[in-house]
Amino acid sequence: MSDMDMEDDGSGIVKKFMFLNRKAPHGTVYALEGLEVVLITAAFDQDVSLVFTDDGVYQLMKGIDTKGIEVKDFSKTYRALDGYDIEKLYVDQTSLDARGLTEDDLIVDVSVLSDDEMKNLMDEQDVVISF
Amino acid sequence: MLHIVNKSATERSSLDSCLRLATKGSAVLLIEDAVYAATKGSSAAAKIQAAAAGLKIYALGPDLAARGMAGRVLDGVNVVDYGGFVELVAEHRNCQSWL
């Protein structure tokens, strides 16, 4: 392979990707589809941050039981993310507070950010993809 | 009338509109993402509790369970299953789904 080809295929470039989840888990397909895209992106060795804000924090609730509505319970998948080297999970305190939730209500370990911390995290990304 | 709301109160205005326009004595059934409004500590909780003085408020149990919210339901909200949903539709003269 020539040097030209090496440059053209873009391998080795790592960008900062943020996946911004703002929807509750089952009322729309956004949460599940977003999770699928995150898992795909993990295969490309990018610097991935996963953010849950607004109704998105509901995706991480413990104790989800979807038998009654006959849809897939994908909440367990969030616990598998560190197996895909996706370890940067964030929620914001404002969204938790507005929903009467605390970190203890969530199925995975997350970093809880203030609004200032969240806005800086967003600002430093190369790519933000919203679900 | 039976009012049916299915969208999250922190994402859409349908619950607010429903509570504003429902006549006294009407029933309001919260389904899908609307059930979050009927949970303790949610920003809509105060609205639901105030509304419960003049309206009958119901929430669909399977939708609460699917969202990890079965143990957080506000006092004064009646949890129904799918059979209860059918009964509510049958016992009201008309119903309105707030999309």
pLDDT of A2 higher than 70: no
Flag whether the pTM goes above 0.80.
yes
Task: Report CA-CA distances (Å) from A59 to A64, A78, B1, B96.
Answer: 9, 9, 33, 28
pLDDT for A98: 97
Which CATH number fits the domain that encloses residue B76?
Answer: 3.40.1260.10
A122 token code pair: 């967003």
**Mean per-residue pLDDT for B54-66?**
98
Q: How confident is the model at residue A43 (pLDDT cuts 50, 70, 90)?
A: confident
* Residue in A55, A67, A73 nearest the CB of B11: A55
**Mean per-residue pLDDT for A28-40?**
94
Say if B11 is an interface residue toward chain A (CB within 8 Å): yes
Least confident of A39-53, A99-113, A116-130, B8-22: A39-53
Say if B61 is an interface residue toward chain A (CB within 8 Å): yes
| Residue to test with chain A: of B10, B39, B69, B80, most A Cβ within 10 A | B10
Domain hosting residue B42, numbered range = 2-98
pLDDT of B98 higher than 60: yes
Q: Where are the domains of chain A?
A: 16-130
Q: Which of residues 19-38 of B touch A (CB under 8 A)?
A: 32-33, 36
CA A60 – CA A64 distance, rounded (Å): 9
pLDDT for A9: 56
- Split into its structural domains, chain B has a count of 1
Q: How confident is the model at residue A12 (pLDDT cuts 50, 70, 90)?
A: confident
- Contact indicator for B34, B15 with CB cutoff of 8 Å: yes
**Mean per-residue pLDDT for B3-16?**
97
Q: How confident is the model at residue A13 (pLDDT cuts 50, 70, 90)?
A: confident
pLDDT for B58: 98
Say if A102 is an interface residue toward chain B (CB within 8 Å): no
**How many helices (H) and strands (E) in chain B?**
4, 5
pLDDT for A20: 97
pLDDT for A1: 43
Q: Which residues of B touch A61 (CB under 8 A)?
A: 67-69
Q: How confident is the model at residue B49 (pLDDT cuts 50, 70, 90)?
A: very high
pLDDT of A6 higher than 50: no
**Mean per-residue pLDDT for B62-74?**
98
Count of beta carbons in the 10 Å neighbourhood of residue B89: 14
Least confident of A10-14, A17-21, B90-94: A10-14
CATH topology for A16-130 is Hypothetical Protein Ychn; Chain: A, (3.40.1260)
**Mean per-residue pLDDT for A48-62?**
97
- Contact indicator for B62, A64 with CB cutoff of 8 Å: no
The H-assigned helical ranges of A1-131 are 3-8, 30-42, 77-80, 93-98, 115-123
